[in-house]
Amino acid sequence: MKSAIRSFDYVKFLNDDGFTPETYKDPKNRELFVELKKLKDGYIAFTQQIRGNTTIREILEADAKYLIRIQRLRLIIQPRFEFVMQKHLQGRNYAFIRSYWVDDNGNFCRIMAKSLGRTTEKKYKEMIKNPKFISRATKIMKEKLYKQYTPLP
């Protein structure tokens, strides 16, 4: 018989950030990696200090807050976004970048879309393959996402 309790591998969650090698090499991420380590260490300390007088509700609420903060910080370090092209009512094509975030319930949701201006289909395909353009888009999304994040005191 299967357990009704959802199984979650906390060790894997804490150890596997899912970052690309380029993300680890980027010197701009150093401070964010320090913040991420503090957050993970805080979570581990929290789980080790749970006492018998702590209610299940308190444990679950604190657990969820830590996990969501870790996911959010990971999204700042390596944003999750996509490029899309949409046709305006007047027939012009516009390029957009859509960024994702983790809401307070732990679900991924689209948080913002930023217009990149008018384009043709050919220019759009060239644009999304250009490493400089992708780097610039990543920087823009990092800055916008960091404004959504509350760092540790």
pLDDT one-digit tens code per residue, 97-127: 889 999 888 899 988 888 888 888 899 889 8
Please name the residue that has the structure tokens 């969501």: 68
pLDDT band at 135; cut points 50, 70, 90: confident
Rounded to whole angstroms, the Cα distance separating 50 from 44 reads 10
Rounded to whole angstroms, the Cα distance separating 15 from 127 reads 34
Domain that holds residue 97: 10-148
Q: Is residue 96, in this structure, part of any structural domain at all?
A: yes
C-alpha distances out from residue 141 to 12, 95, 126, Å: 27, 15, 20
CB atoms within 10 A of CB 113: 14
Q: Is residue 3, in this structure, part of any structural domain at all?
A: no
Q: Is residue 125, in this structure, part of any structural domain at all?
A: yes
Q: Is residue 87, in this structure, part of any structural domain at all?
A: yes
Rounded to whole angstroms, the Cα distance separating 44 from 13 reads 12
Q: Is residue 63, in this structure, part of any structural domain at all?
A: yes
Domain count, the chain: 1
For 69-86, how does the pLDDT look when each residue is reduced to its tens digit (9 = 90+)?
Answer: 999 999 999 999 899 988
Please name the residue that has the structure tokens 């094509």: 93
pLDDT of residue 2: 44
pLDDT at 36 over 90: yes
Q: Is residue 2, in this structure, part of any structural domain at all?
A: no
Residue 71 near residue 109, CB atoms below 8 Å? no
Q: Is residue 5, in this structure, part of any structural domain at all?
A: no
Rounded to whole angstroms, the Cα distance separating 149 from 35 reads 12
Q: Is residue 97, in this structure, part of any structural domain at all?
A: yes
* CA 153 to centroid of chain Cα atoms: 20
CB atoms within 10 A of CB 31: 11
The DSSP H or E segment spanning 84 is strand 81-87
